[in-house]
Chains A and B, each alone.
Chain A
Amino acid sequence: MRGMRGNKGLLVAGTLLVLGCGGPKRATVPGPQVGGQRVTVVEFTPVAATNYDAPTGSLGLALAEEIAGELRRQGHTAEAIPAGGQPTGDVIVRGQLVRVDGGSRALRYWVGFGAGAAKFGTAGDVLKGDGTQLASFADERRSGFGIFGGATETLMQKCVRQVGRDIAEMVHTGEYRQ
């Protein structure tokens, strides 16, 4: 009986782990698609204040690489560059991190139901090579489930990956969340 109860608990925990990051539903605005054009994703500039203990200096670069990687998987020519680089693409994606919040592991473990979730939010623009704005976007993801509350860094990594995929999807489909 005890074993069965334990297995049910594990099943629930496993399902929640697989679900990964969630995010609020936002309205989408149609914008241009970038088919056949070279895309340069510039490192996202970091947010000034965070509730996150680990260094945030490389999160913007990791996000840019995630977006470029996802765009390449969808058949685009895309590359990410650090903030000091010179963008050379026909389309440039750039933005800033607006929220880096590690949440609370104690709340995630003892309270659950979304309390203490880690949050990662961005906002940015899609520009032509000459600087003309094509579209703007915003996205945020949160993650509150993990083993024993989930390590904050692991949850943040999940959110960075998910936001990267979201932005790549927006650029790919031309449907931008605001």
Chain B
Amino acid sequence: MQAGWVLRLLVLLATVSGCAATIVRPGDLPVRPRWGTTAVPVVVALEGAPAAMADEVQQIVPSAVRDTQVVPGQPLATACPPDGDAVVLRPQVGRTYFATNAGDRNALFIYESAIVVGLPVTLISAVAWPWYGETTIEGVLETVHCGAHVPASVVVGSYHLRSEGRGFVRGGTIKAAQEEAAARAIARKLLASWGARETTEERR
């Protein structure tokens, strides 16, 4: 009788706390692009970007000077240095969409754990029924070539991240891990797209 209660408690604790090992694997993200444009100084305005995105941009463009003057909504050209020789980048995150089955799974586990006969169902389901989490994120990268007298160019893109696994996990844990990873992924994708576009235009 007591063993049943202990087992129930253990399973409930595992469900509520979640103990899945890895949510996002490194292979789920696109490869970090190599920064080829080194001839011109780069200024990045990161005030509108989440911390993970800002960190990722700084890792991709380590030589970039971080600008703190441009606030979201202001023209990007205000970050241009006085001598006018620089490229200013402003990456931002747009809408995000998150979907997971963790809530349904955990509701079933909690219900099953509440009845002793359901304990095996909980344990089998935790292994046989995988959890998943999906995040879709939209990103915008504005760039301006200082002194070129052309309007800022805008690259928009989106990234879809899906993770799967087995065991106990909370929906909030999946969401937090995926949001961070998705912000890094969209930063990589936007900078890679912009880099490819710049290379094409330089060749012309």
Q: Is A37 an interface residue (CB 8 A)?
A: no
Q: Which residue of B96, B108, B156 contacts A85 across the interface (Cβ within 8 Å)?
A: B156
Query: Mask for A50-76, Cβ within 8 A of B = 1, else 0?
Result: 000000011101101110110000000
Inter-subunit contact B103/A151 (CB<8 Å): yes
The complex places the Cα of A6 from the Cα of B111 at a distance, in Å, of 12
In the complex, which range does the number of interface residues on chain A fall in? 20 to 34
Q: Is A22 an interface residue (CB 8 A)?
A: no
Q: Measuring CB to CB, which residues of chain B are less than 8 angstroms from any residue of chain A?
A: 94-97, 99, 101, 103-104, 107-108, 111-112, 115, 117-118, 121, 134, 136, 138, 140, 154, 156-158, 160, 162
Q: Is A33 an interface residue (CB 8 A)?
A: no
The complex places the Cα of A61 from the Cα of B137 at a distance, in Å, of 9
* Chain A residues touching B, majority SS: helix
- CB < 8 Å A-B pair total: 67
Q: Measuring CB to CB, which residues of chain A are less than 8 angstroms from any residue of chain B?
A: 3, 6-7, 10, 17, 43, 57-59, 61-62, 64-66, 68-69, 80-82, 84-85, 146-148, 150-151, 154, 157, 160-161
Inter-subunit contact A147/B94 (CB<8 Å): no
The complex places the Cα of A80 from the Cα of B94 at a distance, in Å, of 15
Inter-subunit contact A65/B157 (CB<8 Å): no
Inter-subunit contact A6/B136 (CB<8 Å): no
Inter-subunit contact A58/B111 (CB<8 Å): no
**Shortest distance between the CB of A168 and any CB in chain B (Å):** 13
- Give the chain B neighbours of A154 by CB distance below 8 A: 99, 101, 103-104
- Give the chain B neighbours of A69 by CB distance below 8 A: 160, 162
Given A6-B115, A147-B107, residue A82 in contact with residue B156 (CB < 8 A): yes
Q: Which residue of A6, A10, A61, A157 contacts B138 across the interface (Cβ within 8 Å)?
A: A61
- Give the chain A neighbours of B156 by CB distance below 8 A: 81-82, 84-85
A-B contact pairs, 9 of them (CB 8 A): A10-B118, A58-B96, A61-B136, A62-B134, A81-B158, A82-B157, A84-B154, A147-B104, A157-B134
- Give the chain B neighbours of A68 by CB distance below 8 A: 160
Given A3-B117, A6-B117, A147-B108, residue A61 in contact with residue B157 (CB < 8 A): no
The complex places the Cα of A68 from the Cα of B158 at a distance, in Å, of 11
- Give the chain A neighbours of B111 by CB distance below 8 A: 147
**Shortest distance between the CB of B15 and any CB in chain A (Å):** 13
Inter-subunit contact A82/B104 (CB<8 Å): no
Q: Which residue of A59, A82, A157, A160 contacts B94 across the interface (Cβ within 8 Å)?
A: A82
Given contacts A43-B158, A80-B160, A82-B94, 20 further A-B contacts (CB under 8 A): A6-B117, A10-B118, A57-B95, A58-B95, A58-B96, A61-B95, A62-B134, A64-B158, A65-B136, A65-B158, A80-B158, A81-B157, A82-B138, A84-B140, A147-B104, A147-B108, A147-B111, A151-B103, A151-B104, A157-B134
**Shortest distance between the CB of A22 and any CB in chain B (Å):** 18
The complex places the Cα of A146 from the Cα of B121 at a distance, in Å, of 17
- Give the chain A neighbours of B140 by CB distance below 8 A: 84
- Give the chain A neighbours of B154 by CB distance below 8 A: 84
Residue of A nearest to B95 (CB): A58
Residue of A nearest to B105 (CB): A147
- Give the chain A neighbours of B96 by CB distance below 8 A: 58
